[in-house]
Amino acid sequence: MSSNEVTTPEQLLAELDTQSRMPIARIGQALISLGMITDAQLSAGLAQQQLTPQVPLGETLVRMGMVNRAQLQTALVHKMGYPLVNLHLFAPQAEALRKVGHGAAQRLQVMPLMLHEGRLVLALDDPANRRSAIDEVEFIAQVKVIPVLGKCLDLDGVLHKAYERVGEPASVRSASLDPMRPLDFDMAGTSELLETLEKEGPSVASAEAPIEQSDNSLVRMINSMILEAHREGASDIHIESSPGNEKTRIRFRRDGRLYTYLELPSNYRNAIVARIKIMCDLDISEKRKPQDGKINFGKYSPQHRIELRVATIPTNNGLEDVVMRILASAKPIPMSELGLSPRNLAQLTQAVERPYGMVLCVGPTGSGKTTTLHSALMHINTPERKIWTAEDPIEITQAGLRQVQVNPRIDWTFAKALRAFVRADPDVIMVGEIRDEETARTAIEASLTGHLVLSTLHTNSAPETVTRLLDMGMDPFNFADSLLAVLAQRLVRRLCTQCTTSTPASPERVEELLADYMHAFGEQDAPAERQAVYSDWIARYGRDGHLHTFASIGCPHCGDTGFKGRVGIHELMVVSKPLRRLVQGGARAEELQATALREGMRTLRQDGIEKVLAGQTTIEEVRATSNV
């Protein structure tokens, strides 16, 4: 026996303490530093691993004959600090063995050793490169794992003896799977996986029992669920747990609407939440408080570069719900593709090209405000400009921006980030959201001292934004001087381009749309103005002198809903001299809107009606998301 081998719990704890103080190293560099392989051999091993990414690098080098298993273990122990445990002599704790069933331990070729500070110490043959096995053990045991290196000539025999001592018979399910192979999944097989889960479900005694016999199926089902949500263009995945024997419901939000995706047996509600917590490195044991995390799905499916933002919410009866936001599009889109009208596009472009001042984008959660601001930043993002952003969270990234994640829990707020940015020689500052008076006041001060400030606010319309900030205590004169433009926006469902049909609009339909459009003008709604609007519609949207109505009957392309994707409707109020005087006088939102309409602004409802005439959406969608 080597003097470095661990045989007792006391020795193992001492070795783990030593490892915690060692610098992090990679197995390839560890082998090179010990003179076991050359740089050229490492490059060849890495190239081979790209062809078989499911095989860890250490195992790849062994298979290529560049190192033997003894050399690999030496590198893991001496350069990476993993304790080397002699499994023939080490007596594992019964409590640790009960965390992972015999069948799973045998299939994954792992040995649970002991519990230490709420974590499971687990012996593997290659702890540096067995991430999939570690993930699955964490999922089964519902605790975090501390991996160590196990030395053993006959692991199956050692496992058999250890589990017999704690009264668990040998599992009949000694899987013949390659333990190095990651869990594979069938992208199109969610229904079959659900059938497998339901078949296996009755063997689980209760909803609280550990689910070992179905863990592979459940892991594959979660992977398939994420891929299907991404493929269908869903923005969110909702996992909703119910008490008793009620099924756990999974819903997708697609184009702003929720649809039931599938329902899982009640036995799996805790397991699915635990698996998702493992994927985003959250505390599995904490069920009383909400938690936030992020999943890099590329770890589980390298060909899919998908990120998910995860939030867990405690519900009644000690259960938890999970909401996952799919951050598939992490790049900005050009301003010309935002769906802005030509007038709004030209004026917003002009506003964000100004050297200083404040531009606000307003609307409810999920209306695309951050996307719009990043599109504006992309337009002005040049090497000559220094652009700082403070966001919570950072969803879209751009080269050239200096992006900061705020964290209110450590008192790193939007207001504090803003003050730090002003001292860091910025040209443009983007603040994710103005939530309080301090942030608003700091943003106005920054815009008055030679910086362009972009931010968002949760208000219903552009004129209401001005009165909201004045009500928060902003100085009317400073605010009026700083404000350049306010863009209010909503997202409505877009008609499916594959199954949309059009028919000439009836006179009654045209009159209904005209009355709806002209309502915002109030007393300005004179016959001459109405005729001018109608003539403009005919010129821009008419065919053979007629306006048309559009409808979608549904097709496979849109899932028989008639809608595919979303389109923005906008209300842009550019601050002119008359509007600035009204702001300085503390005018009401109605006065601001009336003046802005005379100067050419169009309300959300009016912009939406024009998109109805263009065949992009329906009047019902517009009315559901905008006030008159």
Contacts of 44 by beta carbon, 8 Å cutoff, 6+ apart:
64, 66
Q: Report phi then psi at 349, rounded to 5.
A: -60, -45
Q: Distance between CA atoms of 153 and 62, rounded to whole angstroms? A: 17
- Residue 615 reports pLDDT greater than 90: yes
Delineate the domains of the chain, giving CATH numbers in brackets: 9-165 (3.30.300.160), 218-327 (3.30.450.90), 335-624 (3.40.50.300)
Q: Distance between CA atoms of 124 and 112, rounded to whole angstroms? A: 9
Q: CA distances (Å), 554 to each of 504, 567, 589, 625, in order?
A: 20, 18, 41, 22
- Residue 570 reports pLDDT greater than 80: yes
pLDDT in tens, 286-300: 888 999 888 888 777
The number of helix segments (H) and strand segments (E) in the chain equals: 24, 20
Q: Distance between CA atoms of 119 and 141, rounded to whole angstroms? A: 10
- Residue 35 reports pLDDT greater than 70: yes
- Average pLDDT score over residue span 369-381: 94
C-alpha closest to that of 355 among 452, 287, 284: 452
Contacts of 388 by beta carbon, 8 Å cutoff, 6+ apart:
401, 402, 403, 404, 421, 424, 426, 428, 429, 430
- Name the token pair of 69: 């298993």
- Average pLDDT score over residue span 401-430: 91
CB-based burial of residue 305 (10 Å sphere; 0-12 exposed, 13-18 middle, 19+ buried)?
A: exposed
Q: CA distances (Å), 597 to each of 78, 520, 522, in order?
A: 74, 8, 10
- Average pLDDT score over residue span 184-188: 43
- Which contiguous run of DSSP H or E holds residue 548? strand 548-552
Q: In the structure, what pLDDT confidence band is assigned to residue 183 with cuts at 50, 70 and 90? A: very low
Tell me if residue 568 falls in helix, strand or coil: strand
Mean pLDDT (the chain) is 84
pLDDT in tens, 87-97: 888 989 988 99
How far does the chain reach from its first CA to its final CA, in angstroms?
Answer: 83
pLDDT score at 447 = 94
Contact in structure between 580 and 603 (CB atoms under 8 Å) = no
pTM value is 0.65
C-alpha closest to that of 627 among 612, 613, 606: 606
Q: Distance between CA atoms of 126 and 147, rounded to whole angstroms? A: 9
- Name the token pair of 20: 């915690």
Percent of the chain with pLDDT over 90: 41
- Residue 71 reports pLDDT greater than 70: yes
The label of the residue with tokens 């053993």 reads 152
The label of the residue with tokens 């919410």 reads 313
Helix crossing, 437-448 with 414-422: angle to 10°? 20
- Average pLDDT score over residue span 579-587: 93
- Residue 24 reports pLDDT greater than 70: no
Tell me if residue 499 falls in helix, strand or coil: coil
Q: Report phi then psi at 93, rounded to 5.
A: -75, 140
**Between residues 168 and 617, the one the model is more confident about:** 617
Beta bridge partners of 122: 112, 147
Contacts of 274 by beta carbon, 8 Å cutoff, 6+ apart:
139, 142, 284
Q: Distance between CA atoms of 371 and 375, rounded to whole angstroms? A: 6
C-alpha closest to that of 500 among 381, 616, 329: 616
pLDDT in tens, 453-493: 999 999 999 999 999 999 989 999 999 999 999 999 999 99
pLDDT score at 310 = 92
- Average pLDDT score over residue span 571-593: 94
pLDDT score at 36 = 80
Give the CA count within 13 Å in the CB-facing half-sphere of 360.
Answer: 31
Between vectors from CA 405 to CA 399 and to CA 410, what angle results, nearest 5°? 160
Give the CA count within 13 Å in the CB-facing half-sphere of 45.
Answer: 24
CB-based burial of residue 373 (10 Å sphere; 0-12 exposed, 13-18 middle, 19+ buried)?
A: buried
